[in-house]
């Protein structure tokens, strides 16, 4: 389990590089760091449990049980806090995404990240393609279309025009 969590934490940190323009808050990496720390602690706890079982130590097994109970209480607390604050996280991420979409011009690094995100997640805009109609890029191009990264991958010759929403 510790190795699996270490992999997940490392994967999140590595993936962060692709989305760091959307997550301007540097505390966005905090969950990944916490996951790696938990993996280290789980490894140590596993060793304690194995050693206590191998030696048949009642004190060691009691310590192992106490640690497992503390971890269970922490997991339940984290679940409750995640459930309570899910809307706040959602609105914060949407606000940051909207500000990045406002900076879109098709050339700057933020634009590359927006295109990458839309292609990888098969989405268009923050909620849908109509989010683009309020951006500065949409008004400056004057061609009534969204970026080509909004196009569905199975559609050939997509122009991103809003009069063909089935292609987006």
Q: Which domains does the chain possess?
A: 88-167 (1.10.1450)
Closest C-alpha among 1, 22, 10 to residue 110: 22
* Model confidence pLDDT, tens digit, residues 101-148: 888 887 777 788 788 888 888 888 888 888 888 888 777 777 777 888
Sequence-separated (6 or more) residues with CB below 8 Å from residue 116? 18, 149
pTM, rounded to two decimals: 0.54
Sequence-separated (6 or more) residues with CB below 8 Å from residue 101? 114, 125, 126, 131, 132, 135
CA distances from 37 to 11, 14, 43, 74, 159 (A): 14, 16, 10, 14, 47
* Model confidence pLDDT, tens digit, residues 50-102: 888 898 888 988 988 898 898 889 889 988 988 888 888 888 878 877 887 88
């Amino acid at each position: 389990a510790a190795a699996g969590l270490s992999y997940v934490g490392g994967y999140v940190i590595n993936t962060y590089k692709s989305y760091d323009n959307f997550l301007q808050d540097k505390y966005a990496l905090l969950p990944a760091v916490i996951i790696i720390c938990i993996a280290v602690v789980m490894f140590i706890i596993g060793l304690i449990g194995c050693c206590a079982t191998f030696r048949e130590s009642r004190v060691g097994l009691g310590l192992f049980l106490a640690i497992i109970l503390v971890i269970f209480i922490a997991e339940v607390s984290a679940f409750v806090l995640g459930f309570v604050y899910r809307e706040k996280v959602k609105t914060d991420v949407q606000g940051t995404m909207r500000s990045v979409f406002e900076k879109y011009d098709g050339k700057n690094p933020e634009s590359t990240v927006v295109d990458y995100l839309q292609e990888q997640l098969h989405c268009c805009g923050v909620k849908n393609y109509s989010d683009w109609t309020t951006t500065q890029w949409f008004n400056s191009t004057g061609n009534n279309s969204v970026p080509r990264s909004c196009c569905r991958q199975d559609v050939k010759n997509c122009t991103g025009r809003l009069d063909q929403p089935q292609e987006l």
